[in-house]
Structure 1
Amino acid sequence: MNINVHDYVQAIKARAVALHGTTVSVELSGGKTLVGTLAYAVTSDAAGYEKYPDVLTVTVSTKAQTVRVDRIDAIGQG
């Protein structure tokens, strides 16, 4: 199977934007799953271009977990 990593990471980022502020389940490439509130904010640089961070934060029981988006196998509600 031939997977384009760039496209996959972009899809994860788009999904994170859509789910920002909601309760999510994030399946990590190592087999671990985090369930908590997702924080993923798009920012703008000085020229006005949108910047999509390479990390997101999932808050699980008041503890923030930072995760690189290229280490995520799946992300969904709940």
Structure 2
Amino acid sequence: MNVNVNDYVQAIKTRAVELHGTTVSVELSGGKTLVGTLAYAIATDAGGYQRYPDVCTVTVSTKAQTVRIDRIDAIGQG
């Protein structure tokens, strides 16, 4: 099965935008799962272009965990 990595990463970013501020379950490529509140928002640069950050933050029991988007296998409501 051929998967375009850029399309997959963009799909994860889009899903992260949808779930920003909610409780999520994030499955990481190493097999670990984080359950907590997701922080991920699109930024607008000086030229007015929207930029998707390459990392998100999952707060688990008051401890913020920074996660690279390309290391996420799946993300869903937790």
Pick the TM interval, shorter chain.
over 0.9
Question: 1:71 matched to which residue of 2?
Answer: 71
The CA RMSD measured in Å over matched residues stands at 0.3
| Distance across 2 between alignment mates of 1:72 and 1:43 | 20
Report the equivalent of 1:53. 53
Gaps of 5+ in 1: none
Query: Aligned-pair distance for 1:30?
Result: 0.2
Moved over 2 A (4+): none
What stretches of structure 2 of length at least 5 have no aligned partner? none
In structure 2, the residue matched to 1:29 is 29
How far residue 63 of structure 1 moved from its aligned partner, in angstroms, is: 0.2
TM-score norm. by structure 1 comes to 0.99
SS in 2 for 1:10: helix
TM-score by length of 2: 0.99
Q: Percent identity?
A: 85
Q: How many positions carry a matched residue from both structures?
A: 78
Cα distance in 2 for partners of 1:44, 1:29 equals: 29
Output one character per residue of 1:16-56: Cα deviation in whole Å (capped at 9) or x when no partner: 00000000000000000000000001110001000100000
